[in-house]
A and B are shown apart, each in its own frame.
Chain A
Amino acid sequence: MDFAFNEEQQMLLDTTRRFIAGRYSFEQRNQVLGSADGWSREVWAQLADLGLLAINIPEEQGGIGAGPLGTMLVGNAIGEGLLLEPFWSSAVVATHAIVTLASAAQRAALLPALASGESIAVLAHDEAGTRFDAMNVQASAVASGDSWVLSGRKSAVYHAPAANLILVSAIVDGELAVFAVPADTAGIQLQAFTTVDGQAAANVVFDKVILGADARLGGDAHDTLPAVLDYGLAALCAEAFGAMDRILAATIAYSCARVQFGAPIGSFQALQHRMADMFMHLEQARSMSYLAASQCLNPDAQARGRALSAAKVLMGQAARFIGQQSVQLHGGMGMTDELDVSHYFKRLLAFELRCGSSDQHLENYRSGLRAA
C-alpha cells in the first residue's frame, strides 16, 4: 500500500493549481460564465501550453501519458477551480476514446490537434429516456456503399457546442460502434443550452448524417466503450472531489468568520458536528476517488465496473451531503449566486446527474453482490 504521489504527479497538480490561482479566480470565472460561449478560448490555449491537454495521450503517441492518476490530480484542480472549459469532455473522455478505439492512422490524424487545443472533441453517448442505462443505445448507422448513414438523438452532451469533432456511439448490425463525426457535417443539429452548473452543452440530433468509410473508430465497442466510460467516470469523480474539498474549506472558513450571538458560528457544537460529518464524507470520497483512478483501467470489466459504481455511489452521496450542508451553514449567503458556495453546490448536483446516478450505480453494485 502506498499513497504517495511521485514528482511528476505532484508537478501536474501544482502546475494546474498555480494556473488556476492566477487566471481563474471567482471573479475571473464569473466573466467567463457571462461570456457568449460560456468558456474561454484563451484559457483553453493556456491549458494546452501547459501540456494539460496531452495528459491522456501516451508518450509513444506524442503526449505526456500521465494516466488515470495524473488525470485524477489535474481533475481535482479543475474541480477546485470550477473550470468551464471542455477539459473533461475533450482532454479526458474524447481523447482517451480515440487513444483506445482508433486505428494508428486515425490517432495520428486526430491526436496532435487535440493536444495543441486546436481541436475540441466530445463523446456523444447518453440518450434521453434511458434513465442512466448506459448501454441502451438507440442511435444507429447503416453502411451505404462506401459511406455510413448515421441517425439518432444524443442527450446533454457537455461542450458539444464547443466541439469541432463529435464521437458518437451507435448500433451497427446489432453491434455497438463509435464514429468520429466532424461537427459541421450536414444533418447535425445542436440544441444548445447552459447546464445547471453553468457549462455549455447540447442535445445533438443526427438526421441521416453521411459519414466517410474511415469514420468508424475500431470494431465492436461492446467491451471497449464501457471501459472508456469508466475512465471518464473516474476523472469526473476527481473533479467532484476537488469541488467538495473547496466547498468544505469555504464553509469552515465562513463559520470562523461569521459572528452571531457574540461568537463565531463555528463555535456552536451543532455546526461543529455537522462539519465533522462533512469532513468524514470528504475523506471517504477521497478514498473512493483513489479507488476509481486505480481501477478505471482494470481489464476485468466486472471488477472495474463494481469499483467505479461503488465510487459513484459513495461520492454522489458525499457530494449531496457536503453540498447541501455547505449551503445550509452559509445561511442566506449560501442562497446567492454572488458567493462561490452555490456554484460548487450546482457543480456537485450536476455530478450526481452525470455518468449514472448514485441509485443506478447502487443497483449495479447490488446485482453483483456475492455471498463470498
Chain B
Amino acid sequence: MDLDFNQEEQAFRDEVRQFLARELPADIRERMSRDDASQIKQDIVRWQKILHAKGWGAPGWPLEFGGTGWSKTRQYLFENECAMADAPAQLAFGIKMVAPVIMRYGSAEQQQRFLPRILAAEDWWCQGYSETGSGSDLASLKMKAVRDGDEYVLSGHKVWNTLGQFADWIFCLVRTDPEAKPQKGISFLLVDMKSPGISVRPTRLLDGTFEVNEIRFDEVRVPVANRIGEENQGWTYAKFLLGHERTNIAGIGASRRELLRLKQDAAAVLKEGRSLLQDPVFGNKVAQVEIELTALEITNMRVIFAEAAKQAPGPEASMLKIRGTEIAQRISELQVELLGADALRFEHGHDASRATAAYLNLRKLSIFGGSNEIQRNIIAHMILGL
C-alpha cells in the first residue's frame, strides 16, 4: 500500500503544471480567479481549442475517438491541476455527457458528425433533462415527441438548462410513449438549437447570474436520424451516464484551490494580535475542513484504484459526490464568515462580493447532479443493501 503518487505519475503531474503555466492564457486565468463569467463562452471555447491542439481535448475518451489513453489516475491528476490553476472547467455536457452516449449507443454516422466538433469546441452542447414537474423524479418527464414521418415533433419545456443561451445543440430526454411505464417510454434525441420553435428564457438565480435557462419547444421538428439508439430506450442510455465518467465528481482540485484562498485570506486578517488562521475558533474550522478534504482525497484515490481494477465505476461515486459537495459548500461558507459584515454589501461582479456570490451559487452543488438525498438513497440501496 502506497498513498503517494509514483514517480511516473508525479512526472506527469509536473508536465501538466508546466503546460498550464505556459499555455493557460493569463487573461482567462485572471477572470476565472475572480469568478468573472462575463466572457465565459469565449474563455471556455478558447481553452478547449488550446487543449485540443495539445491532444488533451477529451482525456477520458477512447483513443479511437481522440482521447489520450490516460489511466484514471492521470485523468484525476489532470483535472485537479487544471482546477488548481484556475483553468476554466471543460464543458461537461458535450465532452462528458452526450459524447460517451454517442460513442456507446450512437450510429457511426452520428459519431462522425458530432464527436470531432465537440472535441474542437465547434459545437456547444447543453442538456435537456429536468422539467418543472420532473427533477429528482426525472423518469416522470412529460415533454412529448410525436412521430410524424421521418421526424419527431417536440412540444414541452426543459428547465435548469445550464448555459443553453450559448448552445448549438441540446440533448434531450423526451416522452415517445405516454402509455408505457415511465422509464419505458423515453427516447434520447439530439436537437439543433437553431430549430424553429425553440425559445430560450434565462432564469435569474439568487446570486444575480443567469447561468440557467428554461427552454420551450413549440412543435419543434427533429429528424429521426438524430435519435440515439432505439426508440423508448432513452432511459437506459441516460442511466449509462450516471455510472460513467465520475473520476472528478468530488472536485478535489477546486476545493484545494478554494481552501488555499481561504487560508491566505484568513492569514491576512488579524484578531487580538493573531491571524484568524491561528484563532482557535475560526482556525479550528479551517483545520476541520482541511482534514475532511484530506480524507476525501484519499477516499477518491481508493475509488479510482478499485475502479481501475474492476474496469467499472460503482456506487461509491455517490459518496464522493456527497462529501465533495459538502466540503466545497463548507469552504465557501467559511469564506463568507471571514468577510463578516463586509459581506452584507453585495454587488454581483464586484471583487468584494466574490465570496458571497460563490456561497450563494454553490448551494446548487448539493441539489443538482442527483441531489445529496438521492445519493444517500443510492448508497443505502446499492452499497448497504437496504
**8 Å CB contacts to A: which residues of B1-39?**
1-6, 9
Interface centre among B264, B288, B296 (most CB of A within 10 A): B288
Is residue A89 within 8 Å, beta carbon to beta carbon, of the partner chain? no
Report the minimum CB–CB distance from A317 to chain B (whole Å).
Answer: 9
Is residue A25 within 8 Å, beta carbon to beta carbon, of the partner chain? no
Interface centre among A252, A314, A369, A370 (most CB of B within 10 A): A369
CA distance A232 to B120 in the complex (A): 55
Residues of A within 8 A of B386 (CB): 252, 255-256, 266-267, 272, 275
CA distance A255 to B384 in the complex (A): 11
Is residue A273 within 8 Å, beta carbon to beta carbon, of the partner chain? yes
> Which residue from chain B places its CB closest to the CB of A251 in the assembled complex?
B384
**Contact pattern, A 335-372, Cβ under 8 Å of B = 1, otherwise 0:** 00000000000000000000000000011011101111
Is residue A78 within 8 Å, beta carbon to beta carbon, of the partner chain? no
> Which residue from chain A places its CB closest to the CB of B306 in the assembled complex?
A3
Is residue A26 within 8 Å, beta carbon to beta carbon, of the partner chain? no
A370 touching B263, Cβ below 8 Å: yes
**Contact pattern, A 19-52, Cβ under 8 Å of B = 1, otherwise 0:** 0000000000000000000000000000000000
Contact of B287 among A283, A288, A294, A369 (CB under 8 A): A369
Is residue A144 within 8 Å, beta carbon to beta carbon, of the partner chain? no
Nearest 5 CB-CB pairings of A with B: A272-B380, A287-B298, A371-B267, A366-B287, A284-B295
Interface 9-mer from B99-107, B276-284, B334-342: B276-284
Contact of B2 among A2, A255, A288 (CB under 8 A): A2
Known: A279-B379, A370-B263. A313 touches B288 (CB 8 A): yes
Identify 10 residue pairs between A and B in the complex whose beta-carbon atoms are under 8 Å apart, listed by A's number: A1-B73, A3-B302, A272-B386, A280-B379, A283-B299, A283-B319, A284-B299, A366-B283, A369-B263, A371-B263
**8 Å CB contacts to A: which residues of B277-330?**
277-278, 280, 283-284, 286-288, 290-292, 294-296, 298-299, 301-302, 304-306, 316, 319, 322-323
Is residue A310 within 8 Å, beta carbon to beta carbon, of the partner chain? yes
A290 touching B3, Cβ below 8 Å: yes
Residues of B within 8 A of A369 (CB): 263, 277-278, 283, 286-287, 290
Report the minimum CB–CB distance from A296 to chain B (whole Å).
Answer: 12
Question: Chain B contact residues: over half helix, strand or loop, or mixed?
Answer: helix
Contact of B383 among A256, A279, A285, A286 (CB under 8 A): A279
Residues of A within 8 A of B290 (CB): 310, 365, 369
Residues of B within 8 A of A290 (CB): 1, 3, 298
Is residue B260 within 8 Å, beta carbon to beta carbon, of the partner chain? yes
CA distance A300 to B88 in the complex (A): 37
CA distance A286 to B384 in the complex (A): 16
**Contact pattern, B 351-386, Cβ under 8 Å of A = 1, otherwise 0:** 000000000000000000000010011011101111
Is residue A276 within 8 Å, beta carbon to beta carbon, of the partner chain? yes
> Which residue from chain B places its CB closest to the CB of A9 in the assembled complex?
B1
**8 Å CB contacts to A: which residues of B230-281?**
260, 263-264, 266-267, 277-278, 280
> Which residue from chain B places its CB closest to the CB of A366 in the assembled complex?
B287
B384 touching A276, Cβ below 8 Å: yes
CA distance A362 to B277 in the complex (A): 13
Assign chain B's interface to a size class: 35 or more
Residues of B within 8 A of A310 (CB): 290-291, 294-295
> Which residue from chain A places its CB closest to the CB of B294 in the assembled complex?
A310
**Contact pattern, B 82-109, Cβ under 8 Å of A = 1, otherwise 0:** 0000000000000000000000000000
Known: A273-B373, A284-B292, A284-B296. A1 touches B384 (CB 8 A): no
**Contact pattern, B 63-75, Cβ under 8 Å of A = 1, otherwise 0:** 0000000000100
Is residue A215 within 8 Å, beta carbon to beta carbon, of the partner chain? no
> Which residue from chain B places its CB closest to the CB of A310 in the assembled complex?
B291
CA distance A186 to B280 in the complex (A): 45
B379 touching A276, Cβ below 8 Å: yes
> Which residue from chain A places its CB closest to the CB of B277 in the assembled complex?
A369
CA distance A371 to B292 in the complex (A): 17
Residues of A within 8 A of B381 (CB): 272
With A280-B319, A291-B294 given, name 19 new contacts (CB 8 A): A1-B9, A3-B301, A252-B386, A272-B377, A272-B380, A272-B384, A273-B380, A275-B380, A287-B296, A287-B302, A288-B295, A294-B3, A310-B290, A363-B284, A365-B287, A366-B280, A371-B260, A371-B277, A372-B260
Residues of A within 8 A of B322 (CB): 280
Residues of A within 8 A of B4 (CB): 1
Known: A283-B319, A291-B298. A367 touches B278 (CB 8 A): yes
Residues of B within 8 A of A256 (CB): 385-386
B284 touching A366, Cβ below 8 Å: yes
Is residue A149 within 8 Å, beta carbon to beta carbon, of the partner chain? no
**8 Å CB contacts to B: which residues of A173-227?**
none
A1 touching B6, Cβ below 8 Å: yes
A1 touching B380, Cβ below 8 Å: no
Is residue A269 within 8 Å, beta carbon to beta carbon, of the partner chain? yes
Residues of B within 8 A of A372 (CB): 260, 263
> Which residue from chain B places its CB closest to the CB of A252 in the assembled complex?
B384
Residues of B within 8 A of A280 (CB): 319, 322-323, 379
Report the minimum CB–CB distance from B44 to chain A (whole Å).
Answer: 30
